[in-house]
Structure 1
């Protein structure tokens, strides 16, 4: 009699575990169907559209735009500087919706990226203003003329007094398939190209 009861209890535990596992599996399948698959890069709004949406809400100069892959899709991380405030925005790359904004008082004394300048001891070298610079879009076009792919990021930077655009292009489907460019922000010359 004890063997029958133990066998019955063991069977009930095993059967209950199997039913529970089946329910869990179905639950996870339903979870996947609630969360849509991330958008593909070809379905995203352009860098220019993301920039326009950001500047429609916040005045200033776009210092950088970066396309980031998140769990639920792609977002543009956009940094805007208006002289007094820095804004860090996340914009949904599939529909242009502003998802997050961080505001921070701009109280650092470093060179602004929209007016990158420097000079040597006699005051003659390498001074450039934002009017002298090519646009971010032109820098991206220069990079895309060299390789096919989708824009990952573009950022205006100061490299030893020289204004440069750092452009990163995803050239494949893997995370490591990137081409990185340093482009002179005044002349459009490719200073450095790194193909992974």
Structure 2
């Protein structure tokens, strides 16, 4: 009789454990379905909106801004210089929320007497241009995507030899290291350099 009772109790424990494990599995499925999908590129705030939001929080000049594709979605990496401090921000590209900020005292005087900044005059016609003269980030990406098929990996507005340049990287999907990189004149839209891996 004792063996029957022990066997019945053991069966109940095993059955209860199986039911509990099933319930937990269902709970995990529900949790994973609640997580939002990363934003699509078409749902992102523009480069200008990202700059505006960053400068509303941190005073200075945007030195560079780069759109990066992360696992959780797209993030703007924004560098701001206000003379005394440098700020490196990560901003959620879908809603403009600042995710991370690094502050660093600016000890280098690399802009003093430097002819490579945007406000200097130069012979290439793009130096001295203001942000209003630039083609949009979206136009730069479209120019790159007209040359190769793929998805946007990153886009950065940078200044190279006194010229404003969009550096666009496109994932071509042919492998881990298969990316196409473009340098596009931010004023004229001309492709200055193209590197197809």
Considering the TM-score relative to the shorter chain, is it more than 0.5?
Answer: yes
Aligned-residue CA RMSD (Å): 4.0
Q: Residue 181 of structure 1 corresponds to which residue in structure 2?
A: 182
Normalised by the length of structure 1, the TM-score is 0.68
CA contact (8 A) 2:133 2:187 kept: no
Normalised by the length of structure 2, the TM-score is 0.68
CA contact (8 A) 1:77 1:88 kept: yes
* CA shift for structure 1 position 87: 0.8
Q: Among 145, 148, 151, which residue is 1:147 paired with? A: 145
* CA shift for structure 1 position 20: 2.6
Q: Over residues 80-139 of structure 1, what are the superposed CA-to-partner deviations in whole Å (9 max), with x where a residue is unaligned? A: 112221111122222222233221111135458x9627xxxxxxx989995258879538
CA contact (8 A) 2:140 2:168 kept: no
Q: Residue 192 of structure 1 corresponds to which residue in structure 2?
A: 193
More displaced, 26-35 or 174-183?
174-183
Unpaired runs of 5+ in structure 2? none
Aligned length: 186
CA contact (8 A) 1:147 1:171 kept: no
Q: Over residues 13-53 of structure 1, what are the superposed CA-to-partner deviations in whole Å (9 max), with x where a residue is unaligned? A: 43233223212212212322443222222111111111111
CA contact (8 A) 2:166 2:186 kept: no
2:37 match: secondary structure: coil
More displaced, 97-106 or 174-183?
174-183
Q: Residue 48 of structure 1 corresponds to which residue in structure 2?
A: 48
How far apart are the structure 2 equivalents of 1:29 and 1:134? 47
How far apart are the structure 1 equivalents of 2:69 and 2:143? 24
Is it true that 1:138 corresponds to 2:139 in the alignment? no
Is it true that 1:91 corresponds to 2:88 in the alignment? no
* CA shift for structure 1 position 181: 1.0
2:135 match: secondary structure: helix
CA contact (8 A) 2:135 2:188 kept: no
1:15 match: secondary structure: helix
Unpaired runs of 5+ in structure 1? 118-124
